[in-house]
Structure 1
Amino acid sequence: MSELKFPPNFSWGVATSAYQIEGAAAEDGRGPSIWDTFSHQPGKTFEGHTGDVACDHYHRYDTDVDLIASLGVDAYRFSISWSRVQPKGHGAWNEKGLAFYDRLVDKLLSKGIKPHVTLYHWDLPQGLQDLGGWGSRDTTDCFADYADVMGRRLGDRVASICTHNEPWCTAHLGHHVGQFAPGNKDPQLAIQVAHHLLLSHGKALQAMRASGVKAPLGIVLNQSSVTAATQSQADRDSAERQYAAFVRWYMDPIFLKRYPTAPGLSIYPTVSENDFNTIAQPLDFLGINYYTRIWASESSPPVPAPNAMGVNDMGWETYPQGLSDLLRQIDRDYDLPPIYITENGFAGDDHLVGGKVADSPRIAYVHTHLAALQQAMEAGVDIRGYFYWSLFDNYEWNSGYAKRFGLVHVDYENQQRTLKDSAHWYSDLIRKGR
């Protein structure tokens, strides 16, 4: 393997999200979220799996943080369960829920680990969904109030606060194709939801800054490079359209105060006066989640992607060069703040054998993507840190517990945690780098 060299102040981390690991779904005053509702509907998730227990992190956070510390990482990215701290998403707050995140942050700090907080990782309180969810403009104000309270509660101790994780997934997977909660299939609604997510992001930054929150503030976007399968006009137009819908749809409003145009892009949201001024708040950082590229083929049948480096357990092509290509492209197109790679990871067919999990494909995936990241940094892109997704095998949304992204194997029968070979490799890489 080629040698990897990163700056001594480069931040190394792991990431999780609340619904995927916490469990304790109905304990200590937590209200239901749209994922509680969705996952309990027959046929919505793999074998009916839910996040009711997940990795039981709510009860095991203390020893889980010890495990994180054992890896040698200096940063941990996690999300707040909105309905744990404010059960309906509006109205009364839940002190037991707020106290849990206080304890988690304090434990991380006691171990020398910088906490990076995500306010929204797809688990809208069901109480807000009942009032229209992200389709309602009122939800943007509820989110700003939530951000303000959490910012004042944790902002003096955490290393960063991000408003949204992957708004494309909430809008498209949750409201266009119905694959994720709340399970809507309405293209026009999905576009309006995307706009409200961006608007809520801007309002949240305004609210937190008005309250004097000291932590750096930003947003996390999932992005991919896009490759036209052939040089045909149809494939080139498709590549342009998919890049506009996936990357530019969220970047252009934040950095350029507009939505993109592209061949075949025809549905736009209702935008009120000053919305773009609200959305385009200055960012202290930008989080990028990268897993694979988009392969654009309009022929029938489609031209298959080369898959020269194989695919993961989700069927996603391993294509590290896409990370470098993407980062250099957005660095050319926008005036960017410092970037963190907030998610990058590999779903593997992992098995615990003799107390060990051999997962060399994951090690190869991370190594090649870090090499691509190094290329982008050498080209001048300002990247400050890398978070592997995910710390644990966890609840993988509509795939249930069938897909394993973790550095740490979880036996869901007894909650036993076992460091995979990749965890030991990642830990060694970090220690050598220091």
Structure 2
Amino acid sequence: MGHRLAAATVLLLALVAGAAAAGEQAVGAGVEEAGKSAAWTGGLSRRSFPAGFVFGTAASAYQVEGMALKDGRGPSIWDAFVKIPGEIANNATADVTVDEYHRYKEDVDIMKRMGFDAYRFSISWSRIFPTGTGKVNWKGVAYYNRLINYMLKIGITPYANLYHYDLPEALEVQYGGLLNRKIVEAFADYAEFCFKTFGDRVKNWMTFNEPRVVAALGYDDGAFAPGRCTKCKAGNSATEPYIVAHHLILSHAAAAQIYRHKYQHVQKGRIGILLDFVWYEGLTNSTADQDAAQRSRDFHVGWFLHPIIYGEYPKSLQVIVKERLPRFTADEIQMVKGSIDYVGINQYTAYYVRDQQPNATTIPSYSSDWHAAFASSFLTFFAPLGAADERNGVPIGPRANSDWLYIVPWGLYKAVTYVKEKYGNPTMLLSENGMDDPGNVTVAQGVHDTARVAYYRSYITKLKEAIDDGANCVGYFAWSMLDNFEWKLGYTSRFGLVYVDFATLRRYPKASAYWFRDVVTGKN
């Protein structure tokens, strides 16, 4: 395979370089020709996976739709957050982003050409209910009907996520949003409207994407909307993350209960939740560091998955957080426990972790409650205090553009296997996985994404190993379909399989898109 890959690289470089000189249209044609000739799959193909295994791509409404304050959509907490000077790189907004609201057919067509089976998209709550509850915005409903109907028309299965960080701002202003127990009923009502309106065609539902990120980044360090923390203008990092997480779990369970009792038997669908999961590896083999790694897993994925599977928070949270940790009533335990038909695992990276016990100066917070230390400078996204990037001077893996994202394929294997062994091998989707390049790469540079091809090849190989070893994983979704608005990073980060010229919004499938085409269509 080595000579074949080398030849492919030379051909792709020549084609892209020539295409860049000839114009934008030729770029796409050049990459397509290179993809046809020699995208190296590393022996992976659809035949490598169990029958019925789903390959898809993923995105979120706020990151791709645009039309943020048009066609009746109300503002979300992110529309308020991006207006704060300095919060987003280059003070970027998602008012337009990549305009999938108008270009959805083009995007779905690309998915189909690349052989994908499914699209994991999210529904903007405030596009349906501009003030969170009450009056329906039928223009928003019409958009999602158009998107869903077109996907089905050309053979792309919709996987609909109800919440991806974007709470209606009206609920935040009215009663504090996720901090208020009222949010459970509001979310359940919104979810039911979606089940009733779209469930005749959508058979795969997810309630929340990465609720841990919502609770931790929104309420522990204030890095994400609504920007609350002990050191922020408002907030309490010791209590609010746990309150928010509790309400998110109850909201998920309430929506799942409604779906199961009123719609599932007729619509024949299923419902789950999407959880981010970094793999935490003990920095040393000491008992203290191994215990710290386990606590990190508990405070990360266990915070949500443990109650859903076992009806209670992990013991480590109960012992450390004590009275700051909300409790489920007996009725709530019955509602929460078993409230998924499947779980989505968003997996990108792995970190080393070591034990660090609190001292007299430690300020109580979700992040300090881990009793774990991380060594790198990144402070916010996945780990509470950053990522330990070296053991004995050896990095855990090369780094992508984002300073939180180390490329560690074995971490995916360990994360999926952990969910299998710790939580009874639930039906899983690998619901996000990917890496980013800098935002300032040119079209010619961006489409030649050999590092991304290598990333996907290595990670999907490890996923196959986990499945071969018994993990009940039934689908894989690449993040993301398009370069888009990447939250705090704005447009300085590109995760897409498709390069987007942010000035013209033209789409150019990258080499990685054609690599996926060859994997999922079986053309080695």
Aligned to 1:251: 305
Measured against aligned partners, the alpha-carbon deviations of 1:214-269 in whole angstroms (never above 9, x if no partner) come to 22111111112210111344423321221110011111100000111228832543
How many angstroms apart in 2 are the aligned matches of 1:346 and 1:174?
23
User: How many Å separate the matches in 1 of 2:417 and 2:222?
Assistant: 33
The residue number in structure 1 matching 2:335 is: 278
The yes-or-no answer on 1:426 pairing with 2:481 is: no
Measure how far apart 1:6 and its partner are. Answer: 1.7
Structure 2 CA distance for partners of 1:308 and 1:283, relative to 1, 3 Å:
closer
Q: Secondary structure at the match of 1:164?
A: strand
Distance 2:472 2:290 in 1: 29
Match among 420, 433, 436 for residue 347 of structure 1: 436
Q: Contact 1:221–1:287 at 8 Å: present in 2 too? A: yes
Q: Write the mapping of 1:109-188 to structure 2, written as runs, cut at 5 A.
A: 109-130=152-173, 131-185=175-229, 186-187=236-237, 188=239
AA matched with 1:58: Y
Choose from 331, 344, 350 the match for 1:287.
Answer: 344
**Aligned partners of 1:301, 1:76: CA distance in 2, in Å?**
35
Query: Which segment drifts farther, 274-283 or 122-131?
Result: 274-283
What are the Cα deviations for residues 274-306 of structure 1, in whole angstroms up to 9, with x where unaligned? 222222244221111000113203579946424
Q: Which one-letter code corresponds to 1:3 in the other structure?
A: G
User: In the alignment, is the contact (CA less than 8 A) between 1:241 and 1:265 conserved in 2?
Assistant: no
Residue 335 (1) aligns with residue 424 (2) = yes
Counterpart in 1 of 2:468? 378
Q: Which residue of 2 aligns with 1:235?
A: 289
Are residues 1:269 and 2:325 paired?
Answer: yes
1:21–1:55 CA contact under 8 A, matched in 2: yes
Q: Which moved more, 1:226-235 or 1:84-93?
A: 226-235
* Superposition pairs of residues 85-124 of structure 1, within 5 angstroms: 85-124=128-167
Deviations 1:395-419 (A, max 9, x none): 1101111011000011111101111
Counterpart of 1:311, as a letter, is R
Greater Rg over alpha carbons, structure: 2
C-alpha distance in 1, partners of 2:445/2:306?
48
Aligned residues of 1:152 and 1:208 also touching (Cα < 8 A): no
SS in 1 for 2:462: helix
How far apart, CA to CA, are the structure 1 residues paired with 2:291 and 2:51?
42
Equivalences for residues 214-229 of structure 1 within 5 A: 214=267, 215-229=269-283
Q: Offset at 1:367? A: 0.6
Q: Which runs of 5+ in 1 are unaligned?
A: none
Q: 1:307 is matched with which residue?
A: 395
Q: Contact 1:393–1:409 (CA<8 Å) still a contact in 2?
A: yes
Alpha-carbon distance in structure 1 between the residues aligned to 2:506 and 2:51: 34
Q: Structure 1 residue 198 and structure 2 residue 249: aligned? A: yes
Distance 1:360 1:370 in 2: 15
- Where does residue 324 of structure 1 map in the other structure? 413
Going from structure 1 to structure 2, the CA distance change for 1:301 and 1:81 (only over 3 Å counts) comes to closer
Amino acid at match of 1:160: N
Contact 1:145 1:207 in 2 (8 A): no
**Normalising to structure 2: TM-score of the pair?**
0.80
User: C-alpha deviations, 1:178-234, integer Å up to 9, x for none?
Assistant: 111000112210111011101100000111222224221111111122101113444
2:208 partner letter: H
Q: Is the 8 A contact 1:206 1:281 kept in 2?
A: no
- The offset of 1:147, in angstroms, is 0.6
| Residue 80 of structure 2 is aligned to residue 14 of structure 1 | no
Shift of 1:10: 1.3
- The amino acid across from 2:245 in the alignment is A
Take 1:288 and 1:301, find their aligned partners in 2: how far apart are those partners?
23
Instruction: Give the aligned residue type for 1:310.
Output: P
CA contact (8 A) 1:355 1:418 kept: no
- Offset at 1:382? 1.1
SS at match of 1:110: helix
The answer to which structure has the higher helix fraction is: 2
Q: Tell me the residue number matched to 1:25.
A: 68
State the alpha-carbon separation in 2 of the partners of residues 35 and 416 from structure 1.
25
**RMSD of aligned alpha carbons:** 1.9
Structure 1 position 308, deviation (Å): 5.2
1:314-364 Cα distance to aligned partner (Å, 9 max, x none):
121111111111111221122243211110001123633549611111011
Native 8 Å contact 2:68 2:94 kept in 1 = yes
Equivalent position SS for 1:297 = strand
Tell which deviates more after alignment, 106-115 or 315-324. 315-324
Q: Which residue does 2:127 correspond to in 1?
A: 84
Q: Which amino acid aligns with 1:265?
A: I
Structure 1 residue matching 2:453: 3-state secondary structure: helix
User: Within 1, Cα distance between the matches of 2:156 and 2:91?
Assistant: 35
Match of 1:412 in 2: 502
Structure 2 distance, partners of 1:381, 1:127, is 42
Map of 1:3 onto structure 2 = 43
| Aligned amino acid, residue 70 of structure 2 | E
Q: CA deviation at 1:272?
A: 4.5
Match of 1:64 in 2: 107
Secondary structure of 2:206 counterpart:
strand
- Give the match for residue 38 of structure 1: 81
8 Å CA contact 2:437–2:495 kept in 1: the answer is: yes
Q: Which residue of 2 aligns with 1:211?
A: 262
In structure 2, the CA distance between the partners of 1:345 and 1:156, relative to structure 1 (3 Å rule), is: same
Matched letter for residue 104 of structure 1: L
Q: Quick one: distance in 1 between partners of 2:295 and 2:374?
A: 19
Structure 1 position 156, deviation (Å) = 1.5
Say whether the 8 Å CA contact 1:152–1:211 is kept in structure 2: no
Question: What fraction of aligned residue pairs are identical, expressed as a percent?
Answer: 38
Aligned structure 1 segments of 4 or more residues deviating by more than 2 angstroms: 231-238, 261-272, 297-309, 349-356
